[in-house]
Structures are given as C-alpha cells and as structure tokens.
Amino acid sequence: MNVPILIARRYFRSKNKRNIITIISNISMIGVAVGTMALIIVLSVFNGLEDLVRTLYGKSDPNLVISAAKGKAFDVDRTFLMKLENTPGVALLTEVIEDNALLQYHDRQMVVKMRGLSDNYFGQSQIDANIREGDHRLRRDSLELALVGAGVQHELSITLNNRLAPMRLLYPRNTPGKKTLDFNPENAFNEQNLTAGGVFLIEQHIDDSYIFVPLTFAQRLLGYGTRRTALYVKVGQSFEIEKVKEQVRKLLGPDFKVQDSDEQHVSLFKAIKVEKLFVFITFTLILLIASLNIFFSLSMLVIDKKKDISVLLAMGASQKTVRRTFLYVGAIVALVGAATGLILGVTLCWLQQRFGFVSMGMATSVVDAYPVKMQASDLIFTCVSIIVITLAVSIRPALNASKLDLRENL
C-alpha cells in the first residue's frame, strides 16, 4: 500500500465542501480544465489551417520544382531534359517560363504574373478541377488561349473567348548592348495578343495576380529562347517524393534548387508554425496562472493539516513521505482538471470535424467551417506542460510540509 497516495486521495476527497481549501482546489481544477481544453482546440485549429493551405496549393503545385540557385532563369536543351526524364521516379517534366508582364484589356490594365507552361502541364496538375468558367486548355488546335485568375478577370472585366477583343500583353524589350528603356512605346515593348479561354479559382494570391499561357507564347513575348525559369516534376505514384528529390539534387548539383510543395511556400508555413508556437506559449502561461491556485490551496492545506503531519512524523513517517503526500495532492488536482480538459477539447474538435458546427461566417470562404486536425504531438506537449507546471507550483508547499517542527504541533 502506497501511504502518500492513500493520504493524498483522502485529502482530495474531503467531505467538507464548505472548506475554503476545497473551494480553491475546485477552482484550480476548473481553471486547468478550461486552459487545457482551449489549448487543444486552438492548436487543432492551427493544424487544420496548415492542412487547408497544403490542400489549396496542392491543387496547382507540382510535386517538385527545379529552379536556378542563382539568377532568374537557366538554359535547357534536349540532353538536359532527357537526363532528368530518365531519372527513376520522374514521371512527367513540364517546362515553365514565369515573369511579370503588363496586361491590357480595353481601357484597363494591370501588372500580372504570367506563367508559360508546356502542353503536358495538366497531366500533373489538378487545376482543371478549379476552373470556374470556360475551359482549362491552353491550346485548341492552332489557337493559343490563356487561363486567367478570377481576381484578374474581375479587375479587368475580361470576357472569355472574345477573339474580336483579345487581351494585350506587353513586356520590356531587351535590346542587346542597350541598358536603358526606349521612350518610344513601339520600340520599348514586345507586344502579343491572346484570347482568354478560362478562369481559375485556386487561392486569393494566385487568383488576383496570375495568368497561365502556352510556353510558346511566353517565349515569343519574353524573348527567353531556350531559357526556363523552372521545371515542374511529377513523381511516380510508387516512388517517395523525398527520395526522388534527393536523387535530382545529386544529379543537378549545387547550381539548382529542388523544392517540394512545403518548401515552395516555406515562408507561409513558417509563419503558421511561429504563430502556433506563440499561441502554445501564451496558453501555457495561462495554464501556469490558473495552476497558481494549486500553490495557494496546498499552502493552506499544509497549515490546516499541521497536526496530521506531526502525527505522521511521530509514527515514523519520513520527511520524504510527507513531501510526496502533498506533491500527490497537487498532482491529483492538476491531472483531474487536465483529463477533463483533454476529454472536452478532443470531443469538441471531433464534433467540429464531423459536423462543422462553428462556421467561417463568410459566403466567399473556401471552406464552410473552421478546419481542425488533432495531432498526438499536441496532446503529448500539453500533458508534459501540465506535469511541469504542477511540479513547479507544488514543490514549495510540499517542502514546507516536510520541514515542519514536530514539537510545535504535538
């Protein structure tokens, strides 16, 4: 029989409900439960938002992106492409040219990100599922077409499949040996016309600034020739993306960057993780403040049980036994509150995942309800935090109890 646990359970189950010590202990349990529940819910919401971002960008992001380590573009030839295509795990290779261009439509204009794509792009992208209007194809027979973001279409009021009033794209002309821009508009810009064939709706940043065009169109307008700003790689289903990424990195060497989907948006995911970390620290501090009631209740309990402590010491109990007794009292209070908070937090998150009863409250949101995702690591870190906090606030009253003078209390 473990005497310290037996005595701690007896103190915890005290029948005297009017005792101020019991009231403070109950307040401590409620505070720990509420803090634990809130921490689990908030961390789960951040996990859900991170997954939502991955899902949104995953509809247009390739498995891997190859780009130059220095500079904006790099030269490619058939030998270079064949070497990549023959790499184990590379199922599809798409050539990309991306740069800023001036888009004009009627009397309106804006600077857009123009992405030129080779014809096999839609073999590795799910963007065709995000076409809000029109067709996802960039080429119909010999006719070249553009896919425009929903925000770009709204800003310029672009009409689809209007060959009589096509879009006009302009890009500064790069004259060899000349570093200044010609002030004559006819000589200063390359100009190409293109008809909009479809509108995509992926994510606000992309929708408001991007248009997708055929690679040949981008070559003519930008004058890139054999240079490319990126190569998109689709990894075969039976291969691991991480292993293929390492193989391609070794093949290309330090002159190229090879990035997976998370690395393509590393700043965004870092921001989410940093926010999640600060939220975790903030709510842990709130838990610490709520747990201070445990310190006060244990300190008052030590004062109230002086005679009990003296009797235990007189019967031969060691100071370690007394100290462990009051540590266990604090642990029971904290663990009951934490267990209650964990159960409530997990239950509410599960209900939100299943039924989505808390909505985003916006008709234009990409999801109807707040996304949540529970992770075992969050539960573990929460439990570890509660254990550390409980020890921190319980150890001083327990030490005071073990140092009481036996003669003063008999």
If you average pLDDT over every residue of the chain, what do you get?
A: 83
From CA 310, how far away is CA 408, in angstroms rounded?
9
CB 317 within 8 Å of CB 325: no
Q: Between β-strands 210-214 and 227-228, what pairing exists: parallel, antiparallel or unpaired?
A: unpaired
pLDDT in the model for residue 151: 92
Residue of 226, 234, 211, 254 whose CA lies nearest to 98: 211
In tens, the pLDDT along 301-345 reads 777 777 777 777 777 777 778 777 878 888 888 888 888 999 999
Question: How would residue 182 be classed by pLDDT, with cut points 50, 70 and 90?
Answer: low
From CA 22, how far away is CA 28, in angstroms rounded?
10
**Hey, what long-range contacts does 73-79 have (CB within 8 A, 24 or more apart)?**
73/97, 73/224, 73/227, 73/228, 73/229, 74/227, 74/228, 74/255, 74/256, 75/226, 75/227, 75/228, 76/226, 76/227, 76/228, 76/231, 77/226
Q: Between β-strands 64-68 and 256-259, what pairing exists: parallel, antiparallel or unpaired?
A: antiparallel
In tens, the pLDDT along 250-267 reads 999 888 999 988 888 888
Question: How would residue 363 be classed by pLDDT, with cut points 50, 70 and 90?
Answer: low
Q: Does the reported pTM lie above 0.75?
A: no
